[in-house]
Amino acid sequence: MAAEAISKNMRKIKIILLSIIFIMFGALAQAAIVNKFVAVVNDEVITQQDVDQLLSVLYAQYSQEYKGDELLQKMEQVKKDILNQIIEDKLVLSRAKELGIKVTESEINERLDYIKKGFPSEKEFYETLETQGVTIANLKDRYRDQIMMKKLVDYEVKSKVSVLPSETSDYYEKHRSQFREGDKYRVKNILVKAKDDVSFELGKVEIDNVYNKLKEGGNFDDLAMQYSQGPNAEKGGDMGYIEKGQMLEVLDNAIFKLKPGEFSEPVKSEIGYHIFKLEDIKYGKQASLEDVQKDIQMVLFQDKFKAQVNEWLSGLKEKAYICIK
């Protein structure tokens, strides 16, 4: 596929790294397909086989997630995305060659070494290439193109992206809640389990009995050890510290309106009845701008970079001759 920077535009097309080796140069069995051209980019032709070689791998992935008409619709969109990506690749590569961007043999070998690490042994790596009809020369050519395109993107786009200190501080102020640790609540639980109509009826009677004992001043820990069927019964129902969102919504609603020392009314869930007691709250700390400055800068940089890459690609397309059949 495209250089690492350009490929951000195709994140929805999830081609794993090792598959790239075989997609671009394999699929020799498809040679019998009528190889009509589907697009022309300046003086280069994109064939149906160029698209289908990528599409066949993606079809295997998508067919596990989607079926019927939904799968067909997804694949139609993927086909358009693939063609657009190939067009962009050709434009970027052409621009890189125009500017005389070079790639060294050591850079290519470094990429090869990285790929080899994905195999149990170097022997298996070469055997896999041979099975797929891929040569080292093929692979090196593709990696040369990828590295060349990345260098171009770094030179023409990435090097010109910057994030101002004022942008970082503005983002922090607008998203302060994102940089605050979640509050932690120490909770105890009495659970009476139920799984069918009869056990839910009996469980309701038992949990109401426990609830009445609590209202009369009964000790929560003692009652939990006596009546609870939960995993923490022997510890007085102590669940430790939890955060909002860890429990079912109906349970969250019961727990997080309590004040320390209070217990809830009986709450019904799919596994039975609960009574909760809130013991303590540890309020989360607000991270300072200094603590999260680098994270914010990275977010802003990526947003700007993506926007400028898209704008840059649009400029390349406007200057090119592109004909899609």
The full DSSP string for 136-150 is HHHHHHHHHHHHHHH
Determine contact, residues 23/133, Cβ cutoff 8 Å.
Answer: no
At residue 71, does pLDDT exceed 70? yes
- Look-up: residue for tokens 């997609």? 23
Phi, psi of 304 (to 5 degrees): -65, -45
Please give the residue range of the domain that contains residue 13: 6-161+298-324
| CB neighbour list of residue 209: distance below 8 Å, 6 or more residues apart | none
Q: What percent of the chain has pLDDT over 90?
A: 74
Token reading at 267: 């709450």
Q: What does DSSP assign to residue 61?
A: H
pLDDT digits (tens, 9 = 90+) for 83-96: 999 999 999 999 99
Q: What is the mean pLDDT of residues 137-149?
A: 93
| CB neighbour list of residue 96: distance below 8 Å, 6 or more residues apart | 148, 149, 151, 152
Claim to verify: residue 153 and residue 50 sit in the same structural domain? yes
Q: Specify the 3-state DSSP secondary structure of 222.
A: helix
Determine contact, residues 86/50, Cβ cutoff 8 Å.
Answer: yes
Q: Is residue 293 part of a domain?
A: no
The predicted pLDDT at position 59 comes to: 85
| CB neighbour list of residue 164: distance below 8 Å, 6 or more residues apart | none
* CA 147 to mean position of chain CA atoms: 25
Claim to verify: residue 185 and residue 144 sit in the same structural domain? no
- Measured over the CA atoms of residue 125, residue 129, residue 132 and residue 138, the dihedral's sign is positive
Claim to verify: residue 98 and residue 148 sit in the same structural domain? yes
For residues 312 and 152, give the distance between their C-alpha atoms in angstroms, rounded to a whole number. 11
Question: Residue 307: which CATH number?
Answer: 1.10.4030.10
What is the model's pTM?
0.67
For residues 239 and 260, give the distance between their C-alpha atoms in angstroms, rounded to a whole number. 15
Q: Is residue 18 part of a domain?
A: yes
For residues 122 and 223, give the distance between their C-alpha atoms in angstroms, rounded to a whole number. 64
Question: Residue 205: which CATH number?
Answer: 3.10.50.40
Q: List the helix and strand counts (H, then E) for the chain.
A: 11, 7
Total number of domains in the chain: 2
Q: What is the mean pLDDT of the chain?
A: 88
Q: Lowest mean pLDDT: which of 22-36, 71-85, 162-176?
A: 22-36
pLDDT digits (tens, 9 = 90+) for 216-249: 999 999 999 999 999 999 999 999 999 999 999 9
Claim to verify: residue 99 and residue 45 sit in the same structural domain? yes
